[in-house]
Amino acid sequence: MEFSNKSIATADTLKIGKGKRVVVGLSGGVDSSVAAYILKEQGYEVIGMFMKNWHDDSVTISKECPWLDDSNDAMIVAQHLGIPFQAIDLSKEYKERIVDYMFAEYQRGRTPNPDVLCNREIKFDIFLNAALKIGADFVATGHYARKSEIEKEGKKIFRLLSGKDSNKDQSYFLCQLTQAQLSKSLFPVGELLKPEVREIARKINLVTADKKDSQGLCFVGKVHLPDFLQQRLEAKKGKVIEVPADSPAFKNGYEPSDLKNLSASYSLSADLGETIGEHKGAHYYTIGQRKGLNLGGYEKPLFVIGTDTNENIIYTGMGENHPGLYRKGLFVATTDIHWVRPDHTLEIGNSRKYSARVRYRQSLVPCTLNRSPEGLYIIFDSPQKSITPGQFAAWYDGDELIGSGVIN
């Protein structure tokens, strides 16, 4: 495969980085490795920095993503590229801002997104500030996203755009960034496809060229979530209730103007179905989950359609088309609304058409945002699957991410 210098822009042809220092968050993966290479080719003074965010290896599946191996790979890449390298320990901040928040959300029966939070609270806050203290003009990551600038009424505005590779687009994970954070951020691989990134890595003999993409928590590794949660959330047996598809709980008789009911979770109770088994704790499950129920013998797979951590009950429905998996809308409280583009803020009483997604890699779907005094109602043109409280909804105008919020 050939890759184009158009996206890389060598230092000989385009000195866009001349005189500017950038700290790259080297994760030990191929994307951040190639990001560092591209920036160096563009003439930046590049410094590689590895973030250590976690000390407890007891809940990580070490063969999948051991942080020590990642740190070593990041150091080897830095040496190969001839750039300075250092590691920074952010485990204290990560525990306070990400892990504690995760436990609190799961305790409430909600499902947080640690990757979105890690970007907002760690990479583009704590890490960014550490980079600025050593004289950096920017921080860079291996995210598949793009940034552009426009001027509006004499003011510079930064746009967060989807990555060129639609299969790897990671703009969703950056949906909580501010204009100030974007102004100091670079996403060098955003204009490339994943195969192009790997081909670049192979051509320059990077040790990470064919390394498997990491999974799991941001800069922590893949964790066994039940083990992780059981550090603080005790296992507690409770009922698994199956709610039939024809239950009155799923009958939608609401008018299109009834935003509150169209956006609400279904009201589920034990008398709507029958008990079919036991679980180990309602806070270990999330809406849309199929694995981990350990209940067989059904005509179709069972899915979690609701959880009640107060009563310690999980509600299930049979089949991926069960109506309990689908909702017409969602609600974001006023305090949880975030505008990446503050100039697009929706005023109370106004509405606007956008496209949105409620999880990473979900295709964008058309919706209408409706601003009310209590928050933002997002009503989809067609019902959407597995809308999960605690996750983030992000809305786009074309390929530009405009804003986001925590699903209530």
Catalytic residue numbers? 118, 218
- Nearest by Cα to 175 from 98, 116, 102, 126: 116
Nearest-angstrom CA–CA distance, 163 and 309: 38
Q: Measured in whole angstroms, how far is the alpha carbon of residue 297 from the centre of its chain?
A: 35
Sheet of 138-140: strand order equals 85-89, 45-52, 21-25, 138-140, 185-186
Q: 282 and 299 in contact (C-beta within 8 Å)? A: no
In 10 A of CB 283, how many CB atoms? 23
> How many residues are there in the chain?
408
Nearest-angstrom CA–CA distance, 174 and 26: 17
Give me the residue label for tokens 């079919």: 276
Nearest-angstrom CA–CA distance, 155 and 308: 48
- Nearest by Cα to 17 from 33, 40, 47: 40
Q: 257 and 323 in contact (C-beta within 8 Å)? A: no
**Helices marked H in 66-177 — which ranges?**
67-81, 91-94, 100-107, 114-118, 127-133
